[in-house]
């Protein structure tokens, strides 16, 4: 049989209102909905081919076979798609990140979004976007938000079918820029899966979930109105609450490094001087500084001048996951 092969490109996303805790961890059914923006400057490209006589899945990430845990996670995700397609053919998977080497910006969101779309296409599964998003969610919750384009909301839902993401505005809706201050290039100590599993042990977990739920309507409205001050206030509150949850979980996780705090304090100072810039952070020490396109150059320049900032990447609203005819093998 000729292998069925397909290649997909997906972009990671930065969440303005975050996903940090599950009601059902086995399916990544989140405690609250979340809202994000895809990042055009970063991407993952993945080619998947299903072959009938292959004894096991073969996975190559950025030129090398991954560790056992990652390989098993990829295999388990392919199993969901195989089950859906009614096949047991093993797959060859080649995946490559465009991220500058050594930035510590590896992303499970773009990885599982690209893997889901490429595998579904290789299996000739014509799934609607909402279904692809739900499938991507099984690999990594935030991957559900890298399937649709631009500004995206993941509805928490109550089941596998209803917990999926949709676009709330296309990439060209708003010339928002994310200036990412890379402060640390080593691998994070505690991954987001483990960090999230500890979240419910924090005494402020419930308060943060309630706050995030209440922030969804105003966040969506701020995006529609292109209101950076409103979006920024909501985004900073949720980011700091999420990190307060990690720092008060048992055992605690401190993702912030000294340079992280220096960047946060600088952003507050620049804003007080009249430069509209707002921050958020994922489960790591890098800081995402959001500003209008017109201010991206001065923000990036100021970030580069902070001791400890290794590099700055400027990203704009990115497209959703899409197929390409250019294969990796
Ligand atoms: O789905 P995961 O395991 O990539 O977790 C995402 C966690 C955060 O990036 C911190 C928040 C988010 O909503 O993207």
Q: Does residue 324 belong to any structural domain of this protein?
A: no
- Is the CB of residue 34 below 6 angstroms from any atom belonging to ligand 1? yes
Q: Which of 28, 22, 93 is nearest to 56 (CA)?
A: 93
Query: What's the pLDDT tens digit per position in 62-72?
Result: 999 999 999 99
Do 166 and 241 lie in one domain? The reply is no
Instruction: For residue 153, report the distance from its CA to the centre of ligand 1, in Å.
Output: 13
- Is the CB of residue 283 below 6 angstroms from any atom belonging to ligand 1? yes
Q: Does residue 329 belong to any structural domain of this protein?
A: no
Is this structure's pTM higher than 0.95?
yes
Given 120, 155, 172, the domain boundary residue is 172
- Is the CB of residue 140 below 6 angstroms from any atom belonging to ligand 1? yes
d(CA 327, CA 329): 6
State residue 1's pLDDT score.
Answer: 46
Given 122, 140, 172, the domain boundary residue is 172
Q: Count other C-beta atoms under 10 Å from residue 207's C-beta.
A: 13
Instruction: For residue 47, report the distance from its CA to the centre of ligand 1, in Å.
Output: 24
The CA–CA distances, whole Å, from 181 to 107, 185, 195, 310 equal 16, 11, 22, 7
CATH number, domain containing residue 255: 3.30.70.890
Q: Does residue 328 belong to any structural domain of this protein?
A: no
Do 168 and 183 lie in one domain? The reply is no
- Is the CB of residue 108 below 6 angstroms from any atom belonging to ligand 1? yes
Query: How much is the average pLDDT of 27-34?
Result: 98
Domain that holds residue 160: 4-172
Indicate whether 35 pLDDT > 70: yes
Do 165 and 181 lie in one domain? The reply is no
- CA 154 from centre of chain: 12
CB-CB contact of 139 with 116 (8 Å): yes
Atom of ligand 1 nearest to the CA of 283: 10
Q: Does residue 33 belong to any structural domain of this protein?
A: yes
Do 192 and 210 lie in one domain? The reply is yes
Do 240 and 154 lie in one domain? The reply is no
Do 194 and 303 lie in one domain? The reply is yes
Atom of ligand 1 nearest to the CA of 109: 4
Q: Does residue 41 belong to any structural domain of this protein?
A: yes
Number of structural domains found in the chain: 2
For atom 6 of ligand 1, which residue has the closest CA? 142
d(CA 77, CA 17): 26
Query: What's the pLDDT tens digit per position in 202-224?
Result: 999 999 999 999 999 999 999 99
CB-CB contact of 116 with 46 (8 Å): no
Do 115 and 189 lie in one domain? The reply is no
- Is the CB of residue 246 below 6 angstroms from any atom belonging to ligand 1? no
Do 135 and 31 lie in one domain? The reply is yes
CB-CB contact of 166 with 36 (8 Å): no
- Is the CB of residue 110 below 6 angstroms from any atom belonging to ligand 1? no
Do 311 and 182 lie in one domain? The reply is yes
Do 97 and 226 lie in one domain? The reply is no
DSSP bridge partners of 15? 36
d(CA 184, CA 120): 35
3-class SS at 44? strand
- Is the CB of residue 142 below 6 angstroms from any atom belonging to ligand 1? yes
d(CA 224, CA 39): 18
Do 205 and 166 lie in one domain? The reply is no
Q: Does residue 325 belong to any structural domain of this protein?
A: no
d(CA 184, CA 79): 34
Does residue 308 have a cis bond before it (omega within 30 degrees)?
no
Indicate whether 162 pLDDT > 50: yes
State residue 186's pLDDT score.
Answer: 74
> What contacts 69, CB < 8 A, 6 or more positions away?
none
Atom of ligand 1 nearest to the CA of 140: 1
State residue 184's pLDDT score.
Answer: 84
- If one compares 200 and 189, the residue with the highest pLDDT of the two is 200
Do 186 and 306 lie in one domain? The reply is yes
> Average pLDDT of the chain?
95
d(CA 327, CA 94): 9
Q: Does residue 51 belong to any structural domain of this protein?
A: yes
CATH number, domain containing residue 159: 3.30.230.10
State residue 102's pLDDT score.
Answer: 64
- Is the CB of residue 236 below 6 angstroms from any atom belonging to ligand 1? no
Given 172, 193, 222, the domain boundary residue is 172
Q: Does residue 221 belong to any structural domain of this protein?
A: yes
């Amino acid at each position: 049989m000729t292998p069925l092969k397909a290649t997909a490109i997906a972009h990671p996303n930065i969440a303005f209102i975050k996903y940090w805790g599950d009601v059902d961890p086995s399916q990544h059914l989140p405690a609250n909905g979340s809202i994000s923006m895809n990042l055009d400057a970063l991407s993952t490209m993945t080619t998947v081919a299903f072959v009938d006589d292959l004894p096991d899945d073969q996975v190559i990430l950025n030129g090398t076979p991954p560790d056992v845990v990652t390989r098993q996670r990829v295999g388990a995700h392919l199993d969901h798609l195989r089950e859906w397609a009614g096949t047991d053919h093993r797959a060859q998977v080649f995946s490559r990140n465009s991220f500058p080497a050594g930035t510590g910006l590896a992303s499970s969101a773009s990885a599982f979004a690209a893997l889901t779309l490429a595998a579904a296409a290789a299996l000739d599964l014509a799934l609607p976007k909402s279904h692809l998003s739900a499938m991507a969610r099984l690999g990594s919750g935030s991957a559900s938000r890298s399937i649709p384009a631009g500004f995206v909301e993941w509805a928490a839902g109550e089941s596998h079918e209803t917990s999926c993401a949709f676009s709330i505005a296309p990439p060209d809706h708003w010339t928002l820029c994310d200036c990412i201050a890379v402060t640390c290039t080593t691998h994070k100590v505690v991954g987001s899966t483990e960090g999230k599993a500890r979240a419910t042990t924090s005494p402020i977990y419930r308060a943060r979930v309630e706050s995030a739920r209440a922030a969804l309507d105003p966040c969506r409205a701020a995006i529609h109105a292109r209101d950076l001050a409103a979006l920024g206030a909501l985004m900073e509150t949720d980011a700091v609450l999420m990190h307060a949850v990690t720092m008060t979980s048992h055992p605690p996780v401190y993702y912030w490094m000294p340079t992280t705090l220096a960047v946060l304090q600088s952003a507050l100072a620049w804003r007080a001087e009249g430069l509209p810039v707002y921050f958020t952070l994922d489960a790591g020490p890098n800081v995402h500084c959001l500003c209008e396109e017109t201010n991206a150059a001065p923000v990036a320049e100021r970030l580069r001048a902070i001791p400890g900032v290794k590099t700055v990447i400027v990203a704009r609203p990115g497209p959703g996951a899409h197929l390409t005819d250019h294969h990796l093998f």
